[in-house]
Amino acid sequence: MKRITTISIFLLLLSLASLACFAATANSPLERLRSGVQSVINVLNDPQYKGVVDKQDEMNAKVREAVKSFFNFRELSKRTIGRPWLKFSSEEQDRFISLFTQLLEETYLGRIEDYTNEKVSFDKETIIKAKYAQVDTRLLTNKEAIPVIYRLKLIDNAWNVYDVKIEGISLVNNYRSQFAGILDTSSNDKFETSKKELFTRLEQKCHELKDQQEKK
Amino acid sequence: MKKPMTLKNSASNALLAFLVLTFILLTFPSQVRSAESDDPILVAQVGSGIIGAVEKENGSAPTDDDFDDDIWGDAKTQQQTGASDPWEGYNRAMFTFNDFMYFKITKPVTQGYMYVMPLRPRTWINNFFQNLLYPVRVTSCLLQAKFFTAGAETSKFVANTVIGMGGLGNVAGSQQSTMPLYLGNEDMGQTFGVWGISNGPYFVIPVLGPSTVRDAVGLGIDTFVLNPFWWFGIPWYYSVSAGAYNQINKLSFHLGEYESLKEGAIDPYLALRNAYLQYRTKQVNDAKRGRPAPTSSIVTDPNAETQPTN
């Protein structure tokens, strides 16, 4: 009986401690990002998948899931379109988000095999206006340290990534310049046609990337 | 008797040309970027494009705007990456040509070279050229008043030349070395940027790739005035082949970067233009002095299980 009480007290303390941990992660963008990145790395290093050809699809799905847990693709998509986003209907917004997410996934999942035990160093965290945060990190390769900056936004009490800057090149800004080259906002008619073109080109690109993946 | 004369002449000619250019550029009405001025700044007019025309932001954004990109004080950066591209027709054509050249000639040549030449000698060669091009970098450091970096460059140059077998080795500045040095890879294009000269129209240089009018002028100075290949009366074909060899050797370390940029792009031309402009903006705005920060204690552990975050 005494043993059971000890165990239950122990368990209670343990859960309290983990609760405190959880609260801390919710508060700090840096910790949130670190656990997110760590979870991706854990999947990549999982001996269950590493180097096993048959399980690559399963691994990709797991990575996708891990990334989705700390990236906010809605915010990311919204920012790549910029102000014309407000003129998208909600179905169009959803369609864009799913296509653009797919594009990013297909592009970056193809590069997973390039990962060779690099470490990530989390250097600095800056919070602005209470809901925007920037975390400076460096990807430490054998030869050099590549600066990678994450930008996060606090939405529904969770810090989620909405932009990544590598060597000064912002992902959102880069795609925005491309989408802005396609979207023509000068008149409503032109906007509608250019929006259609944007969707066809996105679909085409996703298709291309998928074919490429399958060829591998 | 004749040889020392030409040697001296060409060196002093190069120096003179450089001083004159510096003088011209310094006396330019180069407007320092200032937040107060709203008027378009006219620095110089080249062809149809206006260099340095800073477009006025139209309308003030509401304070709590989801699309406001200035929360990080990025307005300056945004302006610099906003491309002026009056020669888009030519640029797109040249982009297609360069793309073709890259995949049909440069890349296969580099791959063949990589097959023949192992990683180590390639690193030595890279170090050697990097060391040789020291005058290019140190001049720009000095002209930008980056004295700390200039000192770091100089000590690295001396150390590598003396101890590192004329620059083949890299005894300073590698991650393992005891004294990591901050090196910004400065060039004249960046120097002009620091002086407040804007990019000017985007311009794709044949074979060499993306650039702007400002950076192309800087590259010209770097290549023909500050590059030791062009001193001492070395015949031009030697200089050109050495430069081309350096480019191939350098590319062997960066193969695949262009491909991955292109792979994810909806419009590769715009993607490359934007990436180039953003990268250059970052280089121009990098810190005046500083050392690389030591690795933070907070690091992901590639081999561990998920760690408790306390």
For B218, counting Cβ atoms within 10 Å of its Cβ (0-12 exposed, 13-18 middle, 19+ buried), the class is: buried
CA-based nearest residue in chain A for residue B308: A21
- In angstroms, the CA A12 to CA B303 distance is 30
The DSSP bridge pattern shows strands B49-51 and B44-46 to be: antiparallel
Contact A144, B174 (CB under 8 A): no
Token pair 């990683």 is found at B119
The DSSP-derived string for B70-81 is GGGS-HHHHHHH
Contact B264 A118 (CB under 8 A): no
Contacts of A174 in chain B (CB under 8 A): 271, 274-275, 278
Q: Is A4 part of the contact surface with chain B (CB cutoff 8 Å)?
A: no
Give the model confidence (pLDDT) of A177-200 as tens digits.
Answer: 899 888 888 888 888 888 888 999
- In angstroms, the CA A203 to CA A103 distance is 9
Q: Which of B63, B274, B285, B301 is the mutation pick for testing A, counting most A CBs within 10 A? A: B274
User: What local confidence, expressed as pLDDT, does residue B39 receive?
Assistant: 40
Q: Is A12 helix (H, G, I), strand (E, B) or coil?
A: helix
CA-based nearest residue in chain B for residue A105: B264
Total Cβ atoms within 10 A of residue A73: 19
Give the model confidence (pLDDT) of A12-39 as tens digits.
Answer: 555 555 555 444 445 688 888 888 888 8
CA-based nearest residue in chain B for residue A32: B309
- In angstroms, the CA B75 to CA A197 distance is 30
Token reading at A107? 């592009």
Q: Which residues contact B216 (CB under 8 A, 6 or more apart)?
A: B189, B203, B205
Backbone angles phi, psi at A170, to 5 degrees: -85, 130
Chain A and chain B share a number of CB contacts under 8 A equal to 122
User: What local confidence, expressed as pLDDT, does residue B50 receive?
Assistant: 40
CA atoms within 13 A on the CB side of B167: 13
Q: How far is A128 from chain B (nearest CA, A)?
A: 8
Provide the residue type at A202 as one letter.
Answer: L
Contact B300 A201 (CB under 8 A): no
Token pair 């797919």 is found at A102
Total Cβ atoms within 10 A of residue A80: 23
Contacts of A205 in chain B (CB under 8 A): 266
Total Cβ atoms within 10 A of residue B299: 17
Sheet of A169-170, strand order? A119-128, A132-140, A145-155, A158-166, A169-170
Give the single-character DSSP code of B23.
Answer: H
Total Cβ atoms within 10 A of residue A205: 21
Token pair 């140059």 is found at B157
User: What local confidence, expressed as pLDDT, does residue B292 receive?
Assistant: 56
Q: Which residues contact A214 (CB under 8 A, 6 or more apart)?
A: none
Give the model confidence (pLDDT) of A91-143 as tens digits.
Answer: 989 999 999 998 988 888 877 777 777 888 888 888 888 788 889 888 887 77
3-class secondary structure per residue, B255-306: CCHHHHHHHCCCCHHHHHHHHHHHHHHHHHCCCCCCCCCCCCCCECCCCCCC
How large is the ipTM?
0.80
Contact A153, A132 (CB under 8 A): yes
Give the model confidence (pLDDT) of A57-88 as tens digits.
Answer: 888 888 888 888 888 899 899 989 888 888 88
- In angstroms, the CA B135 to CA B149 distance is 13
Give the model confidence (pLDDT) of A149-176 as tens digits.
Answer: 999 988 888 888 999 998 888 899 899 9
How many residues does the structure list for chain A?
216
Provide the residue type at B224 as one letter.
Answer: F
Contact A122 B299 (CB under 8 A): yes
Q: Which residues contact B197 (CB under 8 A, 6 or more apart)?
A: B25, B28, B30, B43, B51, B52, B214
Backbone angles phi, psi at B263, to 5 degrees: -60, -45
Token pair 């960066």 is found at B254
User: What local confidence, expressed as pLDDT, does residue A97 receive?
Assistant: 92
User: What local confidence, expressed as pLDDT, does residue B97 receive?
Assistant: 93
Q: With a CB-CB cutoff of 8 Å, which residues 31-50 of chain A face chain B?
A: 31, 34-35, 37-39, 41-42, 45
Contact A168 B282 (CB under 8 A): yes
Contacts of B273 in chain A (CB under 8 A): 177
Contact B299 A104 (CB under 8 A): no
Q: Is A88 part of the contact surface with chain B (CB cutoff 8 Å)?
A: no
Q: Which residues pair with B50 in a beta bridge?
A: B45
Contact A117 B302 (CB under 8 A): yes
Residue-wise burial string across B119-152, b where 16 or more C-beta atoms lie within 10 A, e elsewhere: eeebbbbbbbbbbbbbbbbbbbbebbebebbbeb
- Among B79, B16, B34, which Cα is nearest to B53's? B79
Which regions of chain B are under pLDDT 50?
Answer: 1-3, 5, 23-63, 175-178, 304-310
Q: How far is B255 from chain A (nearest CA, A)?
A: 13
User: What local confidence, expressed as pLDDT, does residue B297 receive?
Assistant: 67
Contacts of A212 in chain B (CB under 8 A): 263
In this prediction the pTM is 0.75
- Choose the closest CB to B274 out of A132, A138, A173: A173
Token reading at A196? 């259609």
User: What local confidence, expressed as pLDDT, does residue B230 receive?
Assistant: 78
- pLDDT level of residue A213 (50, 70, 90 thresholds): confident
